[in-house]
Structure 1
Amino acid sequence: MSAKDSAKQIYDEVGGEANINYLTHCVTRLRFRLKDESKVDDEKVKQIPGVMGINHQNGQYQVIIGNAVSDYYDQVVKLGNFPTDESADATDNTGNEKKGNLFDQFTSFISSCMSPLIPALIGGGMIKVILILLTTVGWMSTKSQTYTIISVFGDAPFYFLPIELAITASKYHKVNQMMAVIAGAILIHPDFISLVNSGKTIHLMGLPVTAASYSSSVIPILLIVWAMKYLEKFLDKVVPASFKSILKPLLEIFIVGVVSLVIIGPIGTWAGELLSGIVLLIQKHAAWLAMPLMAAFMPLIVMTGMHWAFSPIFLAASFATPDSLILPAMLAANIGQGAASLAVAVKTKNKNTRQVASAAAVSALLAGVTEPALYGVTLKYKKPLYASMISGAITGLFMGIVNLRSFAFAVPSILSIPQFVNNKIPSNFIYAIIVLIASFIITFVLTMVLGFNEEPQVASATDTDSKKNNDVAATKIESGAKETKKVYSPVKGELITLDSVNDPTFAQKMLGDGVAVIPEDNNFYAPFDGVVETVFPTKHAIGLKSDTGIEMLIHIGLDTVELKGEPYDVKVKDKQRIKKGDLLVVADLAAIKKAGYDTVTPLVVTNSKEFVEVVPNEKTTVDNGTVAFYVV
């Protein structure tokens, strides 16, 4: 299914424009602010093709997509008229400021302000990683002009963080954006930096100014913009309307500049140093414990979005001190997620699962983007997640003992591994390679050993019985035994698994096991020799029974009973004998889509309990001459 079709389903399931207050996206997630989340059926959203999972976080309804999230975002935006920036993120559904405990407000603020910057930070980080690699192997001199200019490319997203965060924070708190930008610019103005670098005592109108460097800082500007929200409200009240256009910007710049350099900026700097100091203290006295815990639980931290609460620490690795906790832990966790997904791809017999797991493995291993692996594979099947967490704890213990450090901000992955290179500490990179290899091998082996259940087990069957039945089914299919019956596709189209159908009745197999087809042709043909058991009065569904005892429901479209038969021309009647290939129905797919309905067609074996197993064909493109599934 295309991104356009899936986006339409997402839009409909979250309640459309009437239920959307706000929408933005990060690297892997659509982030909705909904008026009423209780109206959304999470399970239906999860079943939409392309959706890896959902998450409720800090008042946001997050739909996890993966690397293609921007395509889905563009399609959803076209469907309605609603805000598409962070301006609505600081308010609740009534327009009032969001309430909640301070910790939730803090994490929501950090996440909302940092998320739009991630593409720029990733790009700058990778440029710095490449420079580390080129200079280490001697292909580029650190004294060359080329190195200097390319370093500017990589440093710019980090150096100007106060200005970038001023923009996102101003949207969050609904502060005048250009005034917020000016506040960020004051912190990194060249003349102020010169005063700081001079080493002399600095005063502003007799007030002491802390000689701090604010380039690439996070907390100071966030505190400043937060304070600006109250300053602007105060100025609106006290400045006469006739002088507001002149006095308000004058007073705001002056007050913000003084307060930022004398009070708020130093407090933010001290807060960042305190946070970093706590981490370093833990690393110094209990690294053997902190690192295993961080590496083991990093997938869950990422799942909740809490990793951005640590941004002041790991962003410091770009300019100041190396990070010896967050980024190393992410290295073990990211490689583990990729290895677990790859193991699932190798072990599974389901072609669709293999495609999803393979793509997720590549994303995690090469790019460090783990949401597709986490939501599409490991969290879904659980045991691969446990395998990656066990591996994280083991490799984390090793990292804590050797004090592995990252010297540049980049999302840890195979391609960004040079971020652990430091010519003064050559062993650091060797340790990183050991962690990468160990995390991959341990997770891969554990996943293969622990296995995973792709389908829920029936209550009467044990894991051993299920495995035995699966082995028997596979043997019979491969040998062409008489017990294996073939059911052909009734229509040309794309074959998908039944659990990916956007309807819990079919996805949870309440009516029976089977598959589904996304039709590409209006003509639906008999999938076998047999009898027409039932033609539904609304013509959208037909019940058949094969000569071999298979009772099958062909349901053309989802919820299409509401169309009352208008787009359907049924060519058969109840109790009529049919031969494989006989024309059953002509459906106007265009009319069905125009009416707003999904044309996906479930093919359900309604008496599947009488058989051992229903096994889908591994082909993804089918027609009436192609087997859709086997019944054992």
Structure 2
Amino acid sequence: MQDICIESPLAGELIELSKVKDVGFSNGAMGRGAAVKPIDGKVYAPFDGVVEVLFPTMHAIGLKSMTGIDILIHIGFDTVKLAGQYFTAHVKQGDRVSKGQMLVEFDLAAIENAGYDTTTVIVVTNSADYTTITLLLGDTIIKSIGGETNVKDSIPDNMVKEEYVAAEILKYIGGKSNIRSVEHCATRLRLILKDKSQINEKSIENIDGVKGQFFAAAQFQIILGTGFVDKVYAVIVRDSESLAGSSNNETAYQEMTMLQKISRTLGDVFVPIIPVLVATGIFMGLRGMAQSLGIQFSENFLRMSQILTDTAFAFLPALVTWSTMKKFGGTPVIGIVLGLMLVAPQLPNAYAVASGDAQVISMSIFGLTVPVVGYQGSVLPALVLGILAAKLQKWFKSFVPDVLDLIITPFMTLFISMLIGILVVGPIMHSVESNIFSAVKAFLDLPFGLGGLVVGGLHQVIVVTGVHHVFNALEIELLATTGQDAFNAIITGAIVAQGGAALAVALKTKNPKKRSLYISSVIPAFLGITEPAIFGINLRFVKPFIYALIGGAAAGMAASLMHLAGTGMGITVIPGTLLYMNHLLEYLFVNAIGFGVAFTLTFMLFKQSE
């Protein structure tokens, strides 16, 4: 890698490439360089070299220097439509030229009078071969640092990294005054801004520490990585009580599509429950591994382990109603009690009914026979009941006097919700849930692994749209009903495939600094977090993302063919091994397929110039 310096081939005003109107040039897609607002219509050779390309319309010329520098000089925007009018070429393709030799003349005034912008772009088309590209025009100097377009600036030695990144983000989003609300998740800073036009996306991506940026779910999301995002968030909201206490939910919901609203709601309800189910799945995996190794446990030890693994699912409706009440503004403890009512010991246990050890209770109400049963392991009855109870509680609070609120509101909320839940919502939603579950399971069990192929191939596309939280309820239902999560086994290959494709891009990247940045985006994918790899690398170049989808489809098909399923949910790839202790080799094989296909296709077919 080396530094190069090129004198401008035109006289005029040298300007930054990012300020030109043509996006194809301003975003660096054609290479790094600068632009000139010309004051006359003469283009000279900036070095000794060869005319490699001269367009018939003479509005663009490509040169190669004796030292291997490739540059494109593009005169004006859309001037190709002039079909050569007002242009005169003094060289032809293949000619050797000397520095200072006139290449092309054009009638500046005539072209501008015809309505065309004459801003001339000078880009180095093999930018990746050079660290620093400097363009000179008189006393003006424009530098582009890095082996590729959009290389990030270094953090000053005298600044803490999170301080620097937060300051740069604020600078390129229009400052704190442009923020309506700000939150963060495990890897991303989520911003809702007053004026989106103030965002400089390219400059934000160039910040050292930023792994990518995108709009999703009505929010501007900046990928910073696990742990680091907390630090940057803390700096941004520091000394600003309004931002520290802000929430994106209400503003974001107003701008979401209906599907995004449903997905976000399900995510808000089920995400708080997932850590418990992750822990439960790990307990099951460890116990299964020990038993597969021939380790014998005493009856009491097994009983204690069953308490660890079975409790969360036995009382799953209580977890769901608690989280739902909290999400919809009700009292969470009322949600817990309602959920426990759905699995009260006075009701026939759902698992016992399914095994034939208990009978459903039939109750006659207004001439209708209603089946009454416990809802152990059910999700939809608890979800809908939690929403209804939260709305009902708010309704009572709207007119019950404060002095009686503590007594009347909880009593009436619990009484009415219990009756509705057990006699109406429970039977209806349990039937709906059973039908949905049967359809999903049938799809996943399609012959030849077709269900896994489709899910594995499309899962990360759904992640990009931001509506992937809808799968949380499905996975919880799979675990509660079957004790295993086949969906997790399918998507782990899709996740590692994104990491495989991104790693291939990183290894093909010549610039050491850019390569290290790419690798830092790859690592989270092997821990189950794909956003840095997707938005920082794969989607930016498009083809690696497609190759990763192919890898995910192949891995998903393999998982389906082997009937692979995890003992829990919420973790994949390397951490996910804890859920597959009984089938570790099969799990590693599925991940190897996803990684191998995506990596190989990307490494073999993706060209770094793309």
Tell me if structure 2 keeps the 8 A contact 1:166–1:184: yes
Tell me if structure 1 keeps the 8 A contact 2:458–2:549: yes
Q: Distance in 2 between matches of 1:149 and 1:8?
A: 52
Tell me if structure 2 keeps the 8 A contact 1:29–1:64: yes
Residue 74 to residue 186, structure 1, CA distance change in 2 (3 Å): farther
> Which one of 320, 329, 333 corresponds to residue 178 of structure 1?
333
The worse-fitting range, judged by mean Cα deviation, of 99-108 and 443-452 is 99-108
Q: Distance in 2 between matches of 1:225 and 1:19?
A: 36
> Which one of 301, 305, 318 corresponds to residue 466 of structure 2?
305
Tell me if structure 2 keeps the 8 A contact 1:341–1:384: yes
Pairing 1:29–2:184 present: no
CA displacement at 1:276 relative to structure 2: 1.6
Pairing 1:372–2:372 present: no
Match for 1:339: what amino acid?
Answer: G
Q: How do 1:45-444 residues align onto structure 2 when only pairs under 5 Å count?
A: 45-68=204-227, 69-82=229-242, 89=249, 91-92=250-251, 98=254, 102-139=258-295, 141=296, 143=298, 145=300, 148-149=303-304, 152-153=307-308, 161-189=316-344, 192=347, 197=352, 199-202=358-361, 208=370, 210-215=372-377, 217-240=378-401, 242-285=403-446, 288-321=449-482, 326-365=487-526, 367-417=527-577, 419-420=579-580, 430-444=585-599
Deviations 1:140-170 (A, max 9, x none): x454655654564566666655444445433
CA displacement at 1:334 relative to structure 2: 1.8
CA displacement at 1:397 relative to structure 2: 3.4
Residue 242 to residue 401, structure 1, CA distance change in 2 (3 Å): closer
Residue 85 to residue 172, structure 1, CA distance change in 2 (3 Å): farther
The alignment partner of 1:175 has SS state of coil
User: Over the residues paired in the alignment, what is the CA RMSD in angstroms?
Assistant: 3.6
The alignment partner of 1:295 has SS state of helix
Q: Distance in 1 between matches of 2:395 and 2:534?
A: 46
TM-score, normalising length: structure 2: 0.63
Residue 147 to residue 42, structure 1, CA distance change in 2 (3 Å): farther
Deviations 1:71-106 (A, max 9, x none): 3344444352247689762x348xxx8476543321
Provide the residue aligned with 2:90 in structure 1: none
Question: Bigger radius of gyration, 1 or 2?
Answer: 2
Residue 241 to residue 108, structure 1, CA distance change in 2 (3 Å): same
CA displacement at 1:109 relative to structure 2: 0.8
Q: Distance in 1 between matches of 2:437 and 2:350?
A: 25
CA displacement at 1:282 relative to structure 2: 2.0
Structure 2: tracts of 5 or more residues without a match? 1-154, 156-160
Q: Distance in 1 between matches of 2:462 and 2:168?
A: 29
CA displacement at 1:326 relative to structure 2: 2.5
Match for 1:114: what amino acid?
Answer: F
Q: Distance in 2 between matches of 1:407 and 1:246?
A: 43
TM-score, normalising length: structure 1: 0.61
Residue 279 to residue 64, structure 1, CA distance change in 2 (3 Å): same
Residue 306 to residue 400, structure 1, CA distance change in 2 (3 Å): same
CA displacement at 1:199 relative to structure 2: 1.9
Deviations 1:39-78 (A, max 9, x none): 5444444333333233433333333333223333444443
Match for 1:354: what amino acid?
Answer: R
Structure 1: tracts of 5 or more residues without a match? 423-427, 458-462, 464-632
Q: How many residues align?
A: 443
The alignment partner of 1:61 has SS state of strand
CA displacement at 1:246 relative to structure 2: 1.8
Residue 55 to residue 182, structure 1, CA distance change in 2 (3 Å): farther
Tell me if structure 1 keeps the 8 A contact 2:178–2:193: yes
Provide the residue aligned with 2:88 in structure 1: none
Q: Distance in 2 between matches of 1:25 and 1:247?
A: 38
The alignment partner of 1:307 has SS state of coil
Q: Distance in 2 between matches of 1:156 and 1:45?
A: 46
